[in-house]
Amino acid sequence: MKEERFSVGGSPLHRGSVKLKLCGGLLFIPAFAITPSYREALIFLFISLLLTAIARLPLKHVINRLVLANFFSLFLFITLPLTYGGDPFLIWGVPVSKAGFLLGGLIVIKTNGILLALIALLGTSTVSSLGHGLNALGVSDRLTALLLFSYRYIFVIEQEFKRLQRAAKIRGFSPGTNVHTYRTFGYLIGMTMVKSWDQSQRIHDAMVLRGYDGQFFPLTNPSNRSPFDLILFLGLVLASIILTFLGYLG
Amino acid sequence: MHISEGVLSLPVLATGGTITFFSTMYGLKKLDYDKIMTVAMFSSAFFVASFIHIPLGPGSVHLLLSGIVGLILGWAAFPAILAALFLQALLFQYGGLAVIGVNTVIIAAPAVILGLFFRPWLVQPGKKRFIASGAAGFFSIFFSSLLMAAALIATDAGFAKAALLLVAWSIPVSILEGVITISIVKFLATVQPEILFFSENSK
């Protein structure tokens, strides 16, 4: 599991203020998502590509991520032209719905554009700084704590599960489509839960011992706002508003 | 079980966002600080489940585990699943930010409702526990696929056939999830039953 792959780098987006990136992203991404037409979607896509270039993201990894994340939109892109109905045209003798084809294409553009913006804006920060940024923007202490602790446990649980899975494999467990396999997986997951449960109690005790009462005190200095951050933020806000208006009225 | 970005319309996204907002607030209100660590643990278990590939016929599917999360956490499953989906969007670009509200409702709403409905049976040993865990595992996935289809059809009636394909595909996955949920609960009941009683002593 390769996590936070994009959070390391020296681009202006990596150094930028998390709060402004979050605010800009939380406006830009929904605006992109609800664009009804190709013209605005392509401008949004162009901005996303620009952000990706500014963030100087490793292209190979970005493409890998996009390929994995595209299963759902690809499913729609394949099924919609065949099932959407409306005006058909023929490809190799198969009637294909024009409206379905166009809608599928728009969805593919939006999915990929939004993911690029998501990686460039939020992927360039670490989860912990995003957690504290969300907290500063008004997300409750409890939800922030839940988010940060979940993040912390992912690796613990994943390692624990992999360890048990390896042990099962060494003992000759070969998964197949049968009840024995499913029962074994159930027990492996159950065992992972038992171990993680015990560990979560220990971590909780350790934190209470150190004075944890539900509040976090981030050790990083949050006030590193540069002119670039403000320009980026205003640019995202303006682009979102103008393109949304154009999309719905123009 | 994630709808990707750019598929749904504004009213659907807004409805999902609103339901998630209020349900999460309610779920957090019922959750005291002592429990956050454990809820976070289930949240990451849910996250990791999407990397566990289980063989099914010629291919494999990944688990969701929302049934067991709902059974054990009750209302707290809403914030737990929201947190996990946020991390999945951030770290692996599964789902996304604008659709996170809808995706949370799709996965968490059936989990919470089935959890509240079947929990009285979960804490009783024997046949009732078996039925509760199997039904929660099966129906959590099946209802999620129905909600997913509803979100797609509400966006555009042209999605209807594609949505039906998704529901049909979810049936074998639901059966698998039901069988696995039964074994997890059976295991927990034998090894560490207090996990099953998690929500009972939180009042």
- The pLDDT tens digits of the residues spanning A19-49 come to 999 999 999 999 999 998 999 999 999 999 9
Do A15 and A120 have their domain in common? yes
Contact A114, B95 (CB under 8 A): no
Query: How far is residue A156 CA from its own chain's centroid?
Result: 21
Chain B nearest CA to A170, separation (Å): 18
Do A14 and A95 have their domain in common? yes
> What is the structure's pLDDT at A3?
67
Amino acid at A108: V
pLDDT tens digits, one per residue of A100-132: 888 889 999 999 999 999 999 999 999 988 998
Among residues A117, A147, A122, A114, the alpha carbon closest in space to that of A18 is found at A122
> What is the structure's pLDDT at B17?
96
Amino acid at A241: I
The reply to whether A216 falls in a domain is no
pLDDT tens digits, one per residue of A230-249: 999 999 999 999 999 998 88
Chain A nearest CA to B171, separation (Å): 15
Which tokens go with B86?
A: 């946020």
Count how many domains chain A has.
2
CA distance A193 to A123: 29
CA distance B55 to B52: 10
Q: Is B6 on the interface with A (CB under 8 A)?
A: yes
Contact B185, B119 (CB under 8 A): no
Task: Report chain A's mean pLDDT, rounded to a whole number.
Answer: 88
Residues of B in contact with A177 (CB under 8 A): 55-57
The reply to whether A113 falls in a domain is yes
Do A17 and A35 have their domain in common? yes
pLDDT in tens, chain B (203 residues): 788 888 999 999 999 999 999 999 999 998 888 888 889 999 999 999 888 889 888 888 889 999 999 999 999 999 999 999 999 999 888 888 999 999 999 999 999 999 999 999 998 888 999 999 999 999 999 999 999 999 999 998 888 888 999 999 999 999 999 999 999 999 999 999 999 888 875 54
Do A27 and A120 have their domain in common? yes
Closest residue in chain A to residue B12, using alpha carbons only: A34
Q: What is the mean pLDDT of residues A61-70?
A: 87
Mark yes or no for CB contact B54/A76 under 8 Å: no
Q: What is the mean pLDDT of residues A210-215?
A: 81
Residues of B in contact with A118 (CB under 8 A): 5, 89-90, 93, 96-97
CA distance B122 to B131: 8
- List, as own/partner pairs, every contact residues A125-130 make where C-beta atoms lie below 8 angstroms and the sequence separation is at least 24, other chains included: A125/A7, A125/A14, A125/A18, A125/A21, A126/A4, A126/A7, A127/A4, A127/A151, A127/B87, A127/B90, A127/B91, A128/A218, A129/A18, A129/A218, A129/A220, A130/A18, A130/A22, A130/B90
Amino acid at B198: F
pLDDT tens digits, one per residue of A161-196: 999 999 999 999 999 889 999 999 999 999 999 998
Do A61 and A185 have their domain in common? no
Do A150 and A84 have their domain in common? no
Element (H, E) at A235: helix A227-249
Do A59 and A150 have their domain in common? no
Mark yes or no for CB contact B45/A193 under 8 Å: yes
The reply to whether A217 falls in a domain is no
Do A32 and A127 have their domain in common? yes
Q: How many CB pairs under 8 A join A and B?
A: 243
Residues of A in contact with B54 (CB under 8 A): 175, 181-182, 185
* DSSP per position, B77-97: HHHHHHHHHHHHHHHH--S-S
CA distance B97 to B4: 9
Pairing mode, strands B53-56 and B59-62 = antiparallel
Rg of chain B's alpha carbons, rounded to an integer?
Answer: 16
Mark yes or no for CB contact B6/A110 under 8 Å: yes
> What is the structure's pLDDT at A216?
74
Would you kindly state where each structural domain of chain B is located, as residue ranges? 10-202
Do A204 and A235 have their domain in common? no
CA distance A217 to A151: 17
CA distance A65 to B43: 23
Q: How far is CA B43 from CA A117, A236, B84, in A?
A: 26, 32, 6
> What is the structure's pLDDT at A2?
56
Do A129 and A28 have their domain in common? yes
Give the three-state DSSP class for B10.
helix
CATH for B10-202, options being 2.60.40.350, 1.10.287.110, 3.40.190.10, 1.10.1760.20:
1.10.1760.20
Residues of A in contact with B176 (CB under 8 A): 182
Do A170 and A127 have their domain in common? no
Q: Is A68 on the interface with B (CB under 8 A)?
A: yes
Mark yes or no for CB contact A200/B41 under 8 Å: yes
- Among A33, A157, A196, select the one facing B6 at the smallest CB separation: A33
Residue A223 has pLDDT above 70, yes or no: no
Exposed, middle or buried: residue A180 (CB in 10 Å: 0-12, 13-18, 19+)?
Answer: exposed
Closest residue in chain A to residue B92, using alpha carbons only: A65
Do A162 and A83 have their domain in common? no
The reply to whether A143 falls in a domain is yes
Give the three-state DSSP class for A112.
helix
In terms of residue numbers, what domain contains A48?
5-133+223-249
- In 10 A of CB A82, how many CB atoms? 17
Beta bridge partners of B21: none
* ipTM reported for the complex, 2 dp: 0.92
> What is the structure's pLDDT at A8?
83
Q: Is A21 on the interface with B (CB under 8 A)?
A: no
Categorize the per-residue pLDDT at A87 as very low, low, confident or very high, splitting at 50, 70 and 90.
confident
The reply to whether A215 falls in a domain is no
